[in-house]
């Protein structure tokens, strides 16, 4: 007991040290992003290794907002991410409920095909996707990105939502229908409120995936009017130089929607990620 008592403080200290090390390792790139974004251009290379610039400035943010097309790229990404996340979550909730509550002919085949779509590398299918989008006349449009992001995220989102529906006892629906509710009313009034954590987790995942995706955005969009911000960041790279200050400032601004979005759904997201971790 005495040995255990002496070890406990050391173990606790070690745990906190490990957590602090991990946080420092994970947050250091964000800190460096902020540091470069407020460093004047003439000091980026002369004081590049300093932990904080001798002089800070917001000129890079001002130039990004008022002298570049970043706000247009920013808006395009917001439209694409929110729209694809909303559509995908609605479809995934409906299909996940169907897989969880019903058994139908060909169900295993449908599930197998959905899993199969997740096994192909994106580079392998980018050419066929581009051909399909061009045939549909959706090239250089935000609609093409919304369509592609929705199609690619539905399988994973469906399985994610199915797991949440599986965790809700069917007896709740049966009791609601015995009290006079139709199945749709039981779903709307009883089941969906219980799956809000799952909906939040799914919405957050799809939004993040669409917000940071660059491959399809680079291949399907050619017009600057329809570029999303990951592709728009390439405009800060010229033939002979890279505007690091403005690029980092744009990166900091691009973090704002994701942070605000996750703050908004934080309660549901945490519940969704920890759902089922504790039984009884």
pLDDT bin (cut points 50, 70, 90) of residue 11 is confident
pLDDT bin (cut points 50, 70, 90) of residue 101 is confident
Token couple for 43: 């000091």
What stretch of H or E contains 7? Answer: helix 2-37
How far apart are alpha carbons 205 and 273 in whole angstroms? Answer: 11
pLDDT at 147: 92
How far apart are alpha carbons 73 and 187 in whole angstroms? Answer: 39
**Residue 232 burial (C-beta neighbours within 10 Å; 0-12, 13-18, 19+):** buried
**Residue 208 burial (C-beta neighbours within 10 Å; 0-12, 13-18, 19+):** middle
pLDDT at 50: 78
Q: Is the dihedral of CA 84, 85, 87, 88 positive or negative?
A: positive
How close are the terminal C-alpha atoms of the chain, in Å? Answer: 31
Cβ pair 146, 226 in contact under 8 A: no
pLDDT above 90: residue 150: yes
Encode 172-183: b = buried (16+ Cβ within 10 Å), e = exposed: ebeebeeeebee
pLDDT at 267: 67
**Residue 74 burial (C-beta neighbours within 10 Å; 0-12, 13-18, 19+):** buried
The mean pLDDT of the chain is 83
Mean pLDDT of 210-225: 87
Residue 245: closest CA among 68, 72, 77, 104: 68
Q: Radius of gyration over alpha carbons of the chain, in Å?
A: 24
pLDDT at 196: 82
Cα-based distances in Å from 100 to 39, 111, 152, 220 = 53, 12, 21, 35
- Provide DSSP, 8-20: HHHHHHHHHHHHH
pLDDT tens-digit profile of 51-91? 888 888 888 899 888 988 888 999 999 999 999 999 999 99
Higher pLDDT residue, 267 or 77?
77
- Provide DSSP, 179-213: TT--HHHHIIIIIHHHTHHHHHHHHHHHHHHHHH-
pLDDT at 226: 86
pLDDT above 60: residue 92: yes
Cβ pair 230, 212 in contact under 8 A: yes
How far apart are alpha carbons 223 and 46 in whole angstroms? Answer: 37
Mean pLDDT of 230-249: 83
pLDDT bin (cut points 50, 70, 90) of residue 188 is confident
pLDDT tens-digit profile of 12-55? 888 888 899 999 898 898 898 889 888 888 887 877 677 888 88
Mean pLDDT of 121-146: 86
Confidence (pTM): 0.81
């Amino acid at each position: 007991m005495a040995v255990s008592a002496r070890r406990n403080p050391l173990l606790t200290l070690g745990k906190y040290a490990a957590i602090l090390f991990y946080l420092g390792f994970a947050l250091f790139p964000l800190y460096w992003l902020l540091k470069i974004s407020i460093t004047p251009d003439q000091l980026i290379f002369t004081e590049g290794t300093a932990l904080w610039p001798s002089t800070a400035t917001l000129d890079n943010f001002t130039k990004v907002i008022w002298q570049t097309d970043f706000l247009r790229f920013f808006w395009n990404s917001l439209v694409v991410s929110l729209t694809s996340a909303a559509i995908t979550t609605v479809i995934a909730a409906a299909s996940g409920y169907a897989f969880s509550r019903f058994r139908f002919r060909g169900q295993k085949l449908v599930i197998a095909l959905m899993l199969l779509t997740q096994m192909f590398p994106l580079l392998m299918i980018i050419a066929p996707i581009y051909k399909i989008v061009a045939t549909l006349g959706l090239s250089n449009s935000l609609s093409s990105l919304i369509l592609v992001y929705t199609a690619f995220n539905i399988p994973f989102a469906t399985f994610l939502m199915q797991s949440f529906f599986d965790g809700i006892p069917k007896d709740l629906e049966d009791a609601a229908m015995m009290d006079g509710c139709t199945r749709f009313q039981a779903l709307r009034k009883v089941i969906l409120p219980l799956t809000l954590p799952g909906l939040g987790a799914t919405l957050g995942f799809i939004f993040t995936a669409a917000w940071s995706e660059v491959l399809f955005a680079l291949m399907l969009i050619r017009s600057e009017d329809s570029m999303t911000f990951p592709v728009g960041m390439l405009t800060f790279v010229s033939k002979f130089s890279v505007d690091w200050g403005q690029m980092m400032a744009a990166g900091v601004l691009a973090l704002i929607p994701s942070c605000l979005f996750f703050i908004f759904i934080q309660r549901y997201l945490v519940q969704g990620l920890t759902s089922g971790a504790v039984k009884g």
